Structure 1
Amino acid sequence: MKVETLKVDGAALTIHLNGPDWDGAPAATIGNVSFKVPKAGRELLQKALVRIRDAGFDRVLGPMAGDTWHSYRFVSESDGSPAFLMEPANRAHEPLIFAAAGFEPVARYFSARMALEKCDPAPLPAPADFTVETWDGNEPEVLFQEVFALSCVAFADNAFYTPIPESVFLGMYRPVIPLLKRELIFFARRPDGTLAGFLFAIPNYAEGLETKTVILKTYASFVPGAGRHMVHACHAKARAMGYETVIHALIQDNNRSADRSRKEGGEVFRRYELLGLKWDV
């Protein structure tokens, strides 16, 4: 058994026995948490923990549906604004049930919003080692193959990273293809044409088709300065397209993107936590 779904009246979760390493040892994960009834959730979580210990694991992460490519993290603080597109969401009592079972935060994240009229007032100097271009809108499969290849390298050193097959990644993003706007997808390319970075942004369709908010979902780069230039280009293009607000989404507290968002004046409106539990370690 690698993945098992547990259900009772009022609660459900999945157990994943192929989770990432945590401090040098394999961890199980608990994902797809839905505790409509708190008492049922508490009892089901305890049942899951027994299953995980019996399987030989001494540590577990949650919520995480197996890896960080899929849904993970609880909302820990919020200003009460509606969830944006592809944002994790949970009932307020669900992280409390995990905490009562002994789970503690092992990683923290935030989302921040900014008025686009205040972003990047001055143009950046032209880079020498790369150029920034938007996606041409053709061959979306090729687009995501390039993004996947770069992501596997760029994120490999991140905490709790686990590789996945390209086919799984493409299956996750195919449903998003009709929602894409090519003007909000950027590549940084070296002079020889090889990919040095990418940025993926998407309108916040959770607000409707006429949304005035764009989500800067993720970006990565290998060349110093490429990330900053792609973010600047994204802000400028979104402004020109009539968007009014940008969301810097799901940023880990201690990485470079977090520093950049803070320096640019991003206002945090949501915080998230990934929780973990160790036994006899």
Structure 2
Amino acid sequence: MNNLKIIDFDFDHKLLKKFIDFGYDIYKNDSQFIPPFREKIEFELTKQNPFFNDRIIRNFIIYDDNAIKGRISAIINKNMPNIGYIGYFECIDNYEIAKILLDNAMEFLKKNNIKEINAPINFSTWNKYRFVTEGFENESFILEPYNHKYYPLFFEKYGFTVLKNYYSNVVIDIDREMSKIEHIKQKALQNGYYIRNIDLKKVDEELLLLYNLTIEIFKNNFAYTEIDFADFKNLYSGLNYMIKAEYLLFAYDKNNNACGFLFGMPDYSLAFKKMNGKSDIFSKLKFLFYRDKAECFIMKTFGVKKTALFSGVGSLLVYTMYKNMKKNGFSKGIHALMIENNSSRKYGLGTTNIIKKYSFYKYEVLQ
């Protein structure tokens, strides 16, 4: 590799297309890869994305002769001036290439007085972040990150250290899990807590409720950054076409105050693979045809207000979702992407299997 050349840019249309295309090409022979929607990636990386109101990005592509061998982005959040981010990393299995990409991203961030670098993360924790670090032998599922096995090894070799670990557990005996929390669920019901489904006829109104709950519940979480409702709404666009009402649950106390939620959806991996990152009418028809072939259910986002902690309402939410899963024919479920010290990991503790481990990294910039 004697003809290496690196190009940097921000919003150049032609370069951005090559940058995005490489994110698909690098996995073209990988049956585990679930192609993300191209429209979504294109929106994320163009000026139309509201994230650029307070963020700066510098993208890098590395060529060997005329063939792209890797890409990376350096990202700065103006509201967090000391922390920089590295995202959209994809690379062939060659550490020399990876190091050149990382060197260039690092240089850009250092010039902007960044003291700590977090990776991998595409803008914020509202977007894709973390590397899969264990469990590559297990099937990939929707809503989780995906990467080649050598990516975290390259980052660790470069000097990144693990900041946080996350886990996904599979539930293979739903009845057993329900029986373990039934008495806690019953306590919550006796104390006046109750559950309702999202009203898909009032999606905008319901998303505002979900947004307000999310902000209040997660505002003190690790690596949290606040987004406005317009950005949040965009993240959940098309939700009413993707789920049944009983897959997004809201919890209320006896005074009819919303105090928690649980969101999940069937693992549409097969349907998304058939769509191949496209969202035209024919691809949507493929989704409709293959969506009912999902065999597993993903429990993705779960939260309870501080005022309702230890009330049993969390178990009430989980129990209700288990019940809905069974009703819809799912024999197994995944508690997805749980941070290592989160209390939600208690669900299925000792009776479920860890199927994936993910890591989020940091790099301390030497002064």
- 1:201 deviates by 1.0
Query: Per the alignment, do residues 117 and 191 of structure 1 end up closer, same or farther by CA in structure 2, a change over 3 Å counting?
Result: closer
- 1:148 deviates by 1.2
Superimposed CA distance per residue, residues 176-202 of structure 1 (whole angstroms, 9 cap, x where no aligned partner):
431111112111012333211111010
Q: Helix, strand or coil for the counterpart of 1:270?
A: strand
**Aligned twin of 1:16:** 75
Contact (CA 8 Å) 2:71, 2:88: kept in 1 or not? yes
Contact (CA 8 Å) 1:20, 1:27: kept in 2 or not? no
Query: Per the alignment, do residues 19 and 216 of structure 1 end up closer, same or farther by CA in structure 2, a change over 3 Å counting?
Result: farther
When normalised by structure 2's length, the TM-score is: 0.71
Superimposed CA distance per residue, residues 44-80 of structure 1 (whole angstroms, 9 cap, x where no aligned partner):
1111011111110111000011211111000010051
- Per residue, is there more helix in 1 or in 2? 2
**Aligned twin of 2:100:** 43
**Aligned twin of 1:216:** 299
Q: CA RMSD in A?
A: 1.9
Measured in 2, the distance between the counterparts of 1:238 and 1:127 equals 24
AA in 2 matched with 1:106 = L
- 1:27 deviates by 0.8
Contact (CA 8 Å) 1:75, 1:273: kept in 2 or not? yes
**Aligned twin of 2:284:** none
Segments ≥4 residues shifted beyond 4 Å: none
- Per residue, is there more strand in 1 or in 2? 1
Measured in 1, the distance between the counterparts of 2:89 and 2:349 equals 31
Question: Which sections of structure 1, spanning at least 5 residues, go unmatched?
Answer: none
Measured in 1, the distance between the counterparts of 2:252 and 2:190 equals 11
Percent sequence identity is: 21
Query: Per the alignment, do residues 186 and 140 of structure 1 end up closer, same or farther by CA in structure 2, a change over 3 Å counting?
Result: same
Aligned length: 277
Superimposed CA distance per residue, residues 17-40 of structure 1 (whole angstroms, 9 cap, x where no aligned partner):
11886xxx7310001111135232
**Aligned twin of 2:354:** 268
When normalised by structure 1's length, the TM-score is: 0.92
- Comparing 103-112 with 86-95, greater Cα deviation is found at 86-95
Measured in 1, the distance between the counterparts of 2:220 and 2:190 equals 26
**Aligned twin of 1:3:** 57
**Aligned twin of 2:41:** none
Contact (CA 8 Å) 2:170, 2:355: kept in 1 or not? yes
Question: Which sections of structure 2, spanning at least 5 residues, go unmatched?
Answer: 1-54, 63-67, 272-290
Contact (CA 8 Å) 2:74, 2:85: kept in 1 or not? yes
**Aligned twin of 1:91:** 148
- 1:239 deviates by 0.8
- 1:106 deviates by 0.3
**Aligned twin of 1:71:** 128
Which protein shows a greater Rg? 2
Contact (CA 8 Å) 1:20, 1:160: kept in 2 or not? no
